[in-house]
């Protein structure tokens, strides 16, 4: 189903790309834009994950450079029945994470240094399980390609404004270009919204099943949301089309790019996870807000530990 949805998405974005080209340069502009869109669709299918990781300066890590994080992802992947994804770290103080890749065999998960410093081991396991759920559901293909093409639509609209529109003898061309600078990014964000909200709830549910405790992810979401409110993510602000990739919207809202939210309200996600934990008999509504226990009181997780290991987050 997600491959079908991705096909429809690519067709819609290609059509939008063609309209942008027509309004900027007439029939010739439309043909050029459609040609570029076709080439971009092929390129983004194979390379959108690399573009997303590069946009945020992600660096690949292994068991030598981030041993406990990599081991955590490996054990959670085994529980999820997934191949081991590549693991990346992003040097960014904002707590956040995302997954990318065209299929489970070519997937990657990325976490910021801020999230490693902010979350407990159990909470980080909940976040990584959420990202693995996106991979398991094949959400990452749709999300990453959308981010790539939405960014391109915004760029071509601004490019058209810079050159004043293709029909220079007709004020409508310039007006159309000005409108496109505003409407094209919004149109792309509307398409992003259409695929964002339900998939986050589903990834939360499946992620909770993978890690074994919905409260771990619920606690993580609360901490991440508070961190996002106070810590800007400059790379995300520079590449706002990548915002739907993250577990919590990384944008500050100071720009028009954050006019539409690409994620469900965090409190609603926490409430859904808390309700799931209650139905599983794992805790009360407020359980996730208690400070993480230490030492021998740490619940046994999918990594099998009774003592909380010290990870790359200290």
Q: 306 lies in a domain?
A: no
Tens-digit pLDDT profile for the chain (314 aa)?
556 766 776 677 677 777 767 776 778 878 887 887 778 777 777 887 898 899 999 999 999 999 999 999 999 999 999 999 999 999 999 999 999 998 999 999 999 999 999 999 999 999 999 999 999 998 887 777 776 666 666 666 556 555 554 454 545 456 555 656 665 666 656 555 555 677 899 999 999 999 999 999 999 999 999 999 999 999 998 887 788 889 999 987 654 444 445 688 899 999 999 999 999 888 543 333 333 433 333 333 343 333 343 444 43
Domain assignment present for 304: no
Answer yes or no: is 313 within a domain.
Answer: no
Domain annotation covers residue 312: no
Which positions ≥6 away from 52 have C-beta within 8 Å?
98, 100, 144, 147, 148, 242, 245
Q: pTM of whole model > 0.85?
A: no
| 138 carries a ligand binding annotation | no
- Name, in order, each residue with C-beta under 8 angstroms of 24's C-beta and a sequence gap of 6 or more: 33, 156, 157, 160, 165, 166, 173, 176, 177, 180
Structure tokens at 54: 């590069």
- Considering the candidates 68, 122, 123, 131, report the single residue annotated as catalytic: 131
- Ligand-binding annotation for 134, yes or no, is yes
Distances in whole angstroms, Cα of residue 67 to Cα of each of 63, 122, 150: 4, 16, 35
Establish whether 237 is an annotated binding residue. no
Query: In this predicted structure, what is the pLDDT of residue 235?
Result: 92
123 belongs to the catalytic site:
no
Residue 311 lies in a domain: no
Query: What's the pLDDT score for residue 292?
Result: 40
Q: Is residue 198 part of a domain?
A: yes
Domain coverage including residue 81: 2-297
State residue 121's pLDDT score.
94
Q: Is residue 74 part of a domain?
A: yes
pLDDT at position 195 is 59
Type and span of the H or E element at 101: strand 97-101
Q: Report d(CA 265, CA 54) in Å as an integer.
A: 28
Does residue 206 sit in helix, strand or coil?
Answer: helix
Query: How many domains is the chain partitioned into structurally?
Result: 1
Domain contains 24? yes
């Amino acid at each position: 189903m997600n491959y079908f949805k991705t096909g429809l998405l690519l067709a819609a974005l290609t059509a939008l790309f063609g309209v942008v080209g027509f309004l900027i340069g007439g029939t010739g502009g439309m043909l050029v834009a459609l040609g570029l869109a076709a080439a971009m669709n092929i390129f983004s299918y194979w390379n959108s994950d690399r573009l997303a990781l590069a946009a945020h300066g992600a660096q690949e890590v292994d068991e030598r450079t981030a041993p406990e994080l990599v081991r955590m992802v490996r054990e959670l992947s085994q529980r999820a029945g997934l191949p081991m994804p590549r693991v990346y770290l992003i040097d960014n103080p904002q707590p956040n994470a995302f997954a990318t890749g065209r299929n489970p065999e070519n997937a990657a998960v990325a976490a910021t240094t801020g999230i490693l410093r902010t979350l407990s081991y159990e909470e980080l396991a909940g976040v990584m399980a959420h990202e693995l759920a996106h991979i398991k559901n094949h959400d990452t293909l749709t999300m990453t390609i959308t981010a790539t093409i939405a960014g391109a639509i915004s760029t071509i609209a601004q490019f058209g404004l810079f050159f004043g529109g293709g029909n220079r003898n007709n004020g409508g061309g310039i007006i159309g270009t000005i409108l496109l600078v505003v409407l094209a990014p919004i149109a792309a964000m509307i398409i992003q919204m259409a695929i964002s909200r339900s998939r986050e709830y589903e990834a939360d549910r499946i992620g909770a099943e993978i890690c074994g405790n919905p409260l771990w992810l619920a606690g993580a979401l609360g901490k991440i949301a508070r961190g996002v409110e106070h810590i800007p993510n400059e790379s995300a602000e520079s590449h706002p089309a990548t915002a739907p990739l993250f577990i919590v919207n990384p944008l500050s809202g100071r720009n028009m790019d954050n006019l539409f939210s690409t994620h469900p309200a965090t409190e609603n996600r926490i409430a859904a996870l808390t309700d799931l934990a209650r139905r599983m008999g794992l805790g009360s509504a407020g359980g996730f807000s208690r400070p993480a226990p230490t030492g021998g009181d740490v619940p046994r997780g999918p990594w099998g530990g009774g003592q909380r290991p010290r990870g790359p987050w200290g």
